[in-house]
Amino acid sequence: MTVLHMSAPEIVVVLDSLALVLSRWLPPVARRRTALAATGVVAAGTALAAPGMRWQLLPVLAADLLVGVGAVIGRLVRRRAERAGWRARWWLALPGSVVCLGLIVAGAGAAWALPVANFPQPSGPSAVGTTVMQWTDPARAGRAVVVQLWYPAGPVPPDTPRAQYLGRNRREADIVAAAEGDYLGAPAFLLDGAVRAHSHAVSDAAPAPGRSPVVLFSPGLGGVRTQNTAWAEDLASRGYLVAGVDHPYDSAAVVLADGRTLRTRVAAGGNPGEDARRRTGWVDARAADLSFVLTRLGRLDTEPGPFTGRLDTSRAAATGHSIGGAAAMRAAERDPRFTAVINLDGGPDPDQGPLRQPVLALTHPVEDRADADYVALVSAILERGTGPGYLLTVPGSAHLTFTDAPLYLPPVPALVGSSGRTESVRMTTATCAAFLDAGLRGRGGDLPAVLSAYGDLHVW
């Protein structure tokens, strides 16, 4: 049970810490008993919360410590006052109480703003399995690509442990979070809510019977394969196999099977022309990774193993967020095996050619000239394409709306949009699932009507 993104023991500690601070202002007859009771409950709640204590609780505990120190000092002051024949003034305790209340509010606010990610329940009928694979491309100097699969799984017991978020295990999650913090210029502890999270998937669960269309996903610049886990799990529960790709030396950190970590080498040089050239190189490398992974998925379908006969690579979508969306469009342009494309708020390269596949592009609202130029470029590419193109501008969205970020970052509209923590994830999964059902499964229905319910839709 969680309230305001805090566990029950954490709630107990916060509430009783408030009682402890406020007990100073109760009538003398109730003051001591209330303080002692609150202290005991705080100690019990802290003991219960200790195994998984989050840093957000530290200011609250600091307030409790200050109350204790203040009580000792107050008693000494009162004794000295009595001996000197004067009375200690009540208002001397007021600043300390205000500071303690501020610490408690700060801790509770930080817990609310930076929660442990609570993944929404996948909406499809299937359980979800996940596994991580590493493949090496001999055609590109032995380039190692780490890929995480989410897929429809057979029934699993409700008490089965769920997969760690951000990595195969907690150690990898810590490495990835630290690398993401370095990349973003933020302390790693701000991603504590992501590191502690578990999703709904079951590691290495047996795949469900049947053949699944495949959806390949490329994350944002410096992003990692797990950044759209909620989206991937929802699609897997609906019958798709989703392959999230870690791009070596691009993703913030790629932890290899032998324990080595490849850190990002992505960086702007400050020269616009040189930066544009670098970006084109990153997009091209990602597009080649997507084609390579599609080839390996085809082998996975035919080689002996748990996925034999489970993957239908003749129905394959290239998808991505931010620069990953540009890579998805580039991969689809160059590789006709991709039969659908999804671009989640990604600016394509100016030389991006027209696409023959159906394309869905989701964007945040236009706020400035750069946004307008980006939307105009996407629109021009869709207009030149021979397959149907859908451009959906989602009101209240921001660049990170289309990822897992709203689940564990502060709900600041400029950062994650204003749709809410889970509502933004549900919007992304609902629109993409409707598009994939039409493009990869040929399911009928009024796709423009479904998409237009979520924003401003243009169709080509």
pLDDT tens digits, 192-220: 999 999 999 999 999 999 999 999 999 99
Q: What is the mean pLDDT of residues 322-343?
A: 98
Cite the beta strand spans of 194-321 per DSSP E: 202-203, 212-218, 241-246, 253-255, 261-263, 311-321
Of 58, 91, 113, the position where a domain reaches its end is 113
Structure-model confidence comparison of residues 68 and 449, the more confident one: 449
Mean pLDDT across the chain? 91
Task: Read off φ and ψ for residue 340, nearest 5 degrees.
Answer: -160, 160
**Is residue 102 located within the same domain as residue 131?**
no
In the predicted structure, residue 447 carries a pLDDT above the cut 50: yes
**Is residue 208 located within the same domain as residue 91?**
no
Q: What is the mean pLDDT of residues 344-367?
A: 96
| pLDDT value at residue 375 | 94
| pLDDT value at residue 232 | 98
**Is residue 347 located within the same domain as residue 417?**
yes
DSSP class of 282:
H
Of 86, 113, 140, the position where a domain reaches its end is 113
**Is residue 92 located within the same domain as residue 152?**
no
Contacts of 310 by beta carbon, 8 Å cutoff, 6+ apart:
151, 207, 210, 211, 212, 241, 301
List, as own/partner pairs, every contact residues 154-159 make where C-beta atoms lie below 8 angstroms and the sequence separation is at least 24, other chains included: 154/127, 154/205, 154/206, 154/207, 154/208, 154/209, 155/127, 156/127, 156/129, 156/202, 156/205
**Is residue 221 located within the same domain as residue 367?**
yes
* Least confident stretch, 62-76, 170-184, 196-210, 218-232: 62-76
Give the domain range for residue 384. Answer: 127-459
In the predicted structure, residue 77 carries a pLDDT above the cut 60: no
Inside any domain, residue 181: yes
**Is residue 202 located within the same domain as residue 267?**
yes
Inside any domain, residue 311: yes
Inside any domain, residue 68: yes
pLDDT tens digits, 420-430: 999 999 999 99
Inside any domain, residue 122: no
pLDDT tens digits, 248-307: 999 999 999 999 999 999 877 778 888 888 999 999 999 999 999 999 999 999 999 999
Q: Considering the entire predicted model, what is its pTM?
A: 0.91
Residue 386 sits in a domain whose CATH number is 3.40.50.1820
Structure-model confidence comparison of residues 444 and 430, the more confident one: 430
Inside any domain, residue 295: yes
**Is residue 316 located within the same domain as residue 389?**
yes
**Is residue 82 located within the same domain as residue 200?**
no
Of 80, 113, 146, the position where a domain reaches its end is 113
Inside any domain, residue 19: yes
Q: How many domains does the chain have?
A: 2
**Is residue 99 located within the same domain as residue 189?**
no
**Is residue 323 located within the same domain as residue 214?**
yes
Inside any domain, residue 119: no
Inside any domain, residue 420: yes
* Least confident stretch, 23-37, 79-93, 437-451: 79-93
Instruction: Tell me the pLDDT band of 181, cut-offs 50, 70 and 90.
Output: very high
**Is residue 214 located within the same domain as residue 311?**
yes
Q: Where are the alpha helices (DSSP H) in 238-302?
A: 272-302
| pLDDT value at residue 91 | 58
Q: What percent of the chain has pLDDT over 70?
A: 94
**Is residue 168 located within the same domain as residue 254?**
yes
| pLDDT value at residue 396 | 96
